[in-house]
C-alpha cells in the first residue's frame, strides 16, 4: 500500500476493512461465507428463486463420481474457500480421480489460516455441485459485485472477460455512473484495470440494488455478488473483505474518501 495501517483509528477504506476483520465477527458472518449455508439466508431474506440450482452436495470427495453428477454443464466447488471450481461440460472428458484428489486436498485446508478472515474459521467443509450459468452465447455471464456500506449500495464493480487476457473491472456508482478510481486485482501478468469501453447497466439493475440491500442490512460492509443471465438474476456470494483489504484504491485519495463514507458501528465479536 505504501503506508502503515492505522488500526486504532482507521480512516481509509482498506484500513477499515482490515479493522473489520479483527473486530466484526458473528455467526452470521460464518453462515454467509459458507457457500452452502448461505442459501438458507438468501431464502429467508429474498427468496429461493434467486439461488443457482444445486445439483448435489457431499462431505466426501469420493462421492464426486459421474453417477452423482446427473446434470451438465455444472461447476464443482467447495463451500469454504475461494476459487478453484471444476467446470464440467462433458462428464466423459473429466479425470474424476484427479478431481477427487484435488477436492480432498482442498477439504483439508482452512482458509482462515492463510487469510486471517475469521468468518472462514468455523465453516464445515463441503463439496457442492451447481448449475453452470451461461449467457445466450454459452459464455460465463458478467459478474456484478454490489458493494454496500452500512446496508446501502455505494458502488458496483463489474468483471468482464474473466479467465482471459482481457479481464477488466469497471466501477460504477449506485446510479451507474463511472467512478473516478480503480481497485484492481492482480490476475496472471496484469491487473484488472477498468476497460475503456463502457457497459450498460444490467436489465434488473434496480432489483439487484434492492435485493443487495436486504442481504447487506445486518453488516457494516458487505459485497453482494450477482449474475444476470438473460435478464434473470442469480445470487453469487457474500464477501466481507474485498480482496482482503490488501490492494490499493487509486488515486489514493479515494481510499480516504470511501473510508469516510463507511461507518463502523454495531460491532460484535466472537472467538
In this predicted structure, the answer to whether residue 267 has a pLDDT above a threshold of 70 is: no
What pLDDT sits at residue 266? 56
Q: How confident is the model over 117-142, as a mean pLDDT? A: 93
Lowest mean pLDDT among 37-41, 114-118, 210-214: 114-118
How does 89-110 read in b/e, with b if 16+ C-beta sit within 10 Å? Answer: eeeeebeeeebbebbeebbeee
Average pLDDT over residues 65-76: 97
Asked whether the CA dihedral 191, 251, 23, 39 is positive or negative, the reply is negative
Map out the domains of the chain as residue ranges: 1-24+138-271, 53-134
**Mean pLDDT, the chain, as a whole number?**
93
pLDDT band at 140 (very low <50, low <70, confident <90, very high): confident
Q: Is the per-residue pLDDT at 143 higher than 50? A: yes
Distance from C-alpha of 114 to C-alpha of 99, rounded to nearest angstrom = 23
pTM: 0.94
Q: pLDDT-derived band of residue 270, with 50, 70 and 90 as boundaries?
A: low
Q: At what angle do helices 38-45 and 205-216 cross, to 10 degrees?
A: 110
pLDDT at 268 over 70: no
Amino acid at each position: 500500500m505504501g503506508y502503515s495501517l492505522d488500526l486504532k483509528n482507521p480512516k481509509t477504506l482498506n484500513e477499515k476493512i482490515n479493522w473489520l476483520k479483527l473486530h466484526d465477527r458473528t455467526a452470521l458472518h460464518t453462515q454467509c461465507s459458507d457457500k452452502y449455508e448461505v442459501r438458507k439466508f438468501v431464502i429467508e431474506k429474498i427468496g429461493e428463486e434467486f439461488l443457482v440450482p444445486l445439483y448435489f452436495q457431499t462431505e466426501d470427495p469420493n462421492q464426486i463420481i459421474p453417477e452423482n453428477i446427473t446434470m451438465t454443464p455444472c461447476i464443482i466447488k467447495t463451500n469454504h474457500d475461494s476459487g478453484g471450481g471444476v467446470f464440467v461440460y462433458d462428464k466423459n472428458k473429466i479425470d474424476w480421480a484427479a478431481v477427487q484428489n484435488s477436492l480432498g486436498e482442498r477439504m483439508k485446508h482452512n482458509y482462515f489460516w492463510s487469510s486471517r478472515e475469521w468468518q472462514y474459521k468455523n465453516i464445515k467443509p463441503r463439496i457442492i455441485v451447481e448449475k453452470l450459468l451461461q449467457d445466450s452465447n454459452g459464455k460465463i455471464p458478467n459478474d456484478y459485485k454490489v458493494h454496500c456500506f452500512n446496508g446501502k449500495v455505494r458502488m458496483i464493480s463489474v468483471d468482464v472477460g474473466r479467465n482471459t487476457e482481457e479481464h477488466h473491472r469497471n466501477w460504477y456508482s449506485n446510479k451507474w455512473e463511472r467512478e473516478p478510481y480503480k481497485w484492481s486485482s492482480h490476475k496472471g501478468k496484469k491487473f484488472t484495470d477498468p476497460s475503456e469501453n463502457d457497459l450498460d447497466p444490467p436489465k434488473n439493475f434496480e432489483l439487484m440494488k434492492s435485493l443487495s440491500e436486504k442481504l447487506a442490512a445486518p453488516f457494516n460492509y458487505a459485497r453482494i455478488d450477482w449474475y444476470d443471465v438473460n435478464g434473470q438474476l442469480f445470487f453469487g456470494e457474500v464477501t466481507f473483505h474485498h480482496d482482503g483489504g490488501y490492494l490499493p484504491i487509486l488515486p489514493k485519495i479515494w481510499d480516504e474518501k470511501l473510508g469516510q463514507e463507511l461507518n463502523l458501528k454495531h460491532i460484535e465479536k466472537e472467538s
